[in-house]
Amino acid sequence: MSDTAATRHESPEDLPVRAWRLFDAAAADWLLGLIGAEDLVGAAVGALAVGCDSRWLASIAGLREEDRDVILSGLFGAFRERGIEFPLRDDALKLSAETPLALMVAGAISEEEASVKLWSVADRDQDRSFPELQELRELAISLSLHEDPDCEFDLDLSEWRSAMLSHARRILDRG
């Protein structure tokens, strides 16, 4: 199910909440270097389109060039006006990982799609602060080995998907 399909079951009041969550995840991804400014701008535009009213969000949505200082100022403002602390490295890692996990558990993205994103996030956890994230990275690596035609790696995909979902639920339940 696509991200758009997942929103069809939500009430109109839920859309801004979901859009803020996706924007916050995009901010974390940008801070970690996982996405470029154009993707962050797209998340800001998407949030504004569904009713997230914020002058800081509008300033990010209106960016035409990547200016790190302007983006950081906009992000600080957008978080501050909602009473949310600006995500530091560990918070950004958590936020960046929780979003694909939640989308996977909700059925909005596949386990395979989530594993690609989680591998990238886990690579940013240089000091291995989050062992659960490293477990998900190992699962992503096993899928990659399985998909490599030059590698003979036996993997039961249904067990692999079940393990991904189990890890995701455990991580999300812990918060």
User: Are 69 and 76 in contact, with CB atoms under 8 Å apart?
Assistant: no
Quick: pLDDT tens for 102-126. Answer: 999 999 999 999 999 999 999 999 8
Per-residue confidence (pLDDT) for residue 174, from 0 to 100: 86
Is the domain of 113 the same as that of 48? no
Is the domain of 68 the same as that of 113? no
Is the domain of 107 the same as that of 165? yes
Q: Residue 101 pLDDT > 90, yes or no?
A: yes
| Residues in CB range of 69: below 8 A, 6 or more apart | none
User: CA-CA distances (angstroms) from residue 87 to 6, 29, 106, 161?
Assistant: 26, 11, 24, 30
Quick: pLDDT tens for 123-147. Answer: 999 888 888 888 888 888 888 877 8
Number of domains in the chain: 2
Is the domain of 135 the same as that of 74? no
Is the domain of 37 the same as that of 14? yes
Res. 12 pLDDT band, cuts 50 70 90: low
Is the domain of 102 the same as that of 161? yes
Is the domain of 143 the same as that of 111? yes
Is the domain of 39 the same as that of 106? no
Reported as half-sphere exposure (CB side, CA atoms, 13 A), residue 69 has a value of: 0
Q: Domain range for residue 95?
A: 89-174
Look at residue 52 and give its three-state secondary structure. coil
Cβ count within 10 A of residue 2? 9
